[in-house]
Structure formats: C-alpha cells, structure tokens
Structure 1
C-alpha cells in the first residue's frame, strides 16, 4: 500500500507540473512592430491606429484655439457637464455630486490661484491628471480639452465680476433674469 501511495503522489505531481505551462498572451505567437506578416494583404505586421484614437502616453501637442466664440463655449459647457461637473460641480465651485458622496473636493475655479493659473495648466490637468484627479486624455479629445478650458475661464469671469462694472446693456439683461 505504501508503494501505491508514493506512485499516486508522483502521478499527481507530474500532472500538476504539466499544468504549469504559461498559456497566456505573453507566450502566444505574435508579430513584432516591424516584422513581416502573412496575415495582412500588404505583408506588414504594423497597422495604423484606428481613426479617432487618442494617444495616452504622449498626446500630440495641440495649439489653443485662436478664436473663442459662442460655439466653442457651448461645446466646452457640454463637455464640462459630462466630464468635470461630477467632481467640480456645474458652477465649478468644487461641490459636485461625487464630492457630496465623500470624495475629496477639488478647489473652486473661482479661487485666486486658479483664476491666475495659465490656461495650459487646466489643459495639462485634463491630459495627465492632477492630485486626486485621474487623467482624461483617453476620454477627451485635445480640441474638446481647449473648449473646456475656455468654458472654465467663462465660469471664472461669471463668478468674479462686479455687476457695477458691466456695461448697461448687460446689467439690464441680468436684471431681467431676476
């Protein structure tokens, strides 16, 4: 009986070792970047990115818009409400619904350090993340990031403008809203 138990243990060990072969994506047959491939008609293994792909590691630099118009602000407002308002709040005050549920709150965009920050700082924060904020480069296209920056600047001005300093026509429109 003792020899049979030893034989059974040896058989189980052999089966266990046979199952240890790495059979995952690491060891699969694959084509390296510049290798030739018989799979594609052009014989190349490297493929072009899918249209609309946003780079994650080093996004191409995108210049800020030269003209900020109503259409750009409307696009920025829409994108802000989707991507930023859950944490930053719809008014940019740092009191979004995520913060109300216990997550750390971001600084209000109306705060002095952010009012004085260059526009590129907001763009970089969306691209690479900042503090508790995750990067959004894979979710927000570069032109939309600039549209959001323009909308943030509009929010900042709306919250820090003295009503008496507005032109009479703008003051009248504000009074009409009350």
Structure 2
C-alpha cells in the first residue's frame, strides 16, 4: 500500500509542466534586456484594439473631409443601438434614447428644454448658451457631436461617459428641441393644429 502511494505521488509530480512556473516579466516590470529598461513593449505602429477600428469618421468623429457633417447618420446610429424597423421607427427610438441621455448628462446645465438654466446654473455654475440661439440652430449636427466628444469652453468632454451612438442620439434630441421651440403651426398635423389656442374669443 505504501509503495502504491509513493508511486502515485511520483507520477503526480511529473504532471507539472514548465509553463506553470516559467521565468517571465510582470506588467510594467523593469528589465535590463531592453534599452529603455522596460519589460512592456510599445504597440507596433498601426495596431488597433479589437472592436476599435474606426474608419467611419462621419460617425465616430462627426466630420467629413475635416468639416462637421450636416446630415444625421440615422441608419448607422440605429444599427449601433440595435434598432430595427423602418426609418420612422428608428428615429422614434433614437429620439427616445436621446431624450433619456440628454436628461441625464445635459439637463443639469442646459435644463430639459435647452434654455441654459439648469439646476447647476441655478446653484451658481456659469450658464451655457441657449440651444435656441440662431447660430446653434443653424450649426451642423457634427458640431454638437464634436462638442459632446471634445468639450467646449467650460463644458468638459463626455467621451468617456457617452459612447458614440448615444452622442448621436443626444444630437438628434437637441435638434428636436430646437425645432420644437421654433416650429410653425403649419408644420403640425391638422388634429394637433386644432388644439392650439385660437386667441381671445370675439364678443
């Protein structure tokens, strides 16, 4: 019995491979093998992390030929958000998502209608410009995407908090807010126009 036990122990010891205990460098460990004294090697030029190949500059940067894009990339945004259906259904979903993200990240300063009088401003933070300003209503959609991505003035970058598809959803909602504050009655469906105040009734 004792001999059998010794035999099993000897066989088990032989199962351990050299790879289980091999000489290696830990991440960021110093090394005298390389000239710069670092074990970690720099990435080869042109290396792209999996899932981070971003050749669509219109979507990922909001630019085309170095200029802010003017056309909203609805189909790409819908695809990234996993939205199916026709264009109208896609737009409805994107706007709903944009409103949710706007209320979380933007409303504290811009308030929920984009006037620039959010709760942070009411507590002393410098007010951002109203989104209803003519220059902002006329700005291309790529401008708003760039501001969310890189920040502007006192506004910091939100690139780490808001992924590209959600940035575009916010842009869509910002444009909807702007249109809602400057829409003409003729832009409304007939059933909605009938709900508008008619003014003072005639005596």
Give the TM-score normalised by the residue count of structure 1. 0.64
How far apart in 2 are the matches of 1:173 and 1:81?
27
Out of 28, 32, 40, which is 1:31 matched to?
Answer: 40
CA shift at 1:172, angstroms? 3.5
What is the RMSD of the two structures over their aligned residues, measured on CA atoms? 3.0
Which residue does 1:126 correspond to in 2?
148
- In structure 2, runs of 5+ residues without a counterpart are 1-27, 31-38, 60-72, 76-86, 198-203
CA shift at 1:33, angstroms? 2.7
How far apart in 2 are the matches of 1:47 and 1:167?
49
CA shift at 1:48, angstroms? 4.7
Structure 1 runs (4+) deviating above 4 angstroms are: 46-49
Which residue does 2:102 correspond to in 1?
80
How far apart in 1 are the matches of 2:158 and 2:56?
14
How far apart in 2 are the matches of 1:59 and 1:99?
38
Out of 71, 74, 82, which is 1:65 matched to?
Answer: 74
Distance change (3 Å), C-alpha of 1:34 and 1:85: closer
Out of 164, 167, 170, which is 1:142 matched to?
Answer: 164
Q: How does 1:96-107 map to 2 (within 5 A)?
A: 96-107=118-129
How far apart in 1 are the matches of 2:115 and 2:106?
11
Out of 192, 195, 198, which is 1:170 matched to?
Answer: 192
How far apart in 2 are the matches of 1:47 and 1:60?
14
Give the TM-score normalised by the residue count of structure 2. 0.57
Structure 2 residue matching 1:140: 3-state secondary structure: coil
Aligned residue pairs, count: 134
CA shift at 1:134, angstroms? 0.4
Is the counterpart of residue 113 in structure 1 residue 135 in structure 2?
Answer: yes
Q: How does 1:145-156 map to 2 (within 5 A)?
A: 145-156=167-178
- In structure 1, runs of 5+ residues without a counterpart are 1-26, 36-45
